[in-house]
Amino acid sequence: MTGFDSDERVDIRGRIRAHGARQLMIARMSAPADWQGALRGAIAEQRRAPRSLLASGSDLRLFLESFAIFFTATMMFLL
């Protein structure tokens, strides 16, 4: 095997652009025709459902979990 020649460069920009175009086409084909209406409906349904304060995804729950981790780490450091 010969040494690495720094003048030989592989140009993959075209391949990356083609891959991005394929991914975009796949995303467009799998999206519903009225994607904005579907998104609005999903958001409205999520807002309508009553959730408890400690439901998964709640800001209060995230704060309490973060505080518990911080408190535990602080106590371990102090001990």
pLDDT tens, residue by residue, 18-49: 999 999 999 888 887 888 898 899 889 888 87
CA angle 52, 56, 61 (to 5 degrees): 75
State residue 66's pLDDT score.
94
CA distance 77 to 29: 53
Structure token pair of residue 24:
């975009």
Task: For residue 55, give every residue at least 6 positions away whose Cβ sits within 8 Å of its Cβ, in sequence order, or none.
Answer: 61
Q: Mean pLDDT across the stretch 53-79?
A: 88
17 or 53, greater pLDDT = 17
State residue 52's pLDDT score.
75
Helices (H), the chain: 13-30, 35-48, 59-78
Q: How much of the chain exceeds pLDDT 90, in percent?
A: 35
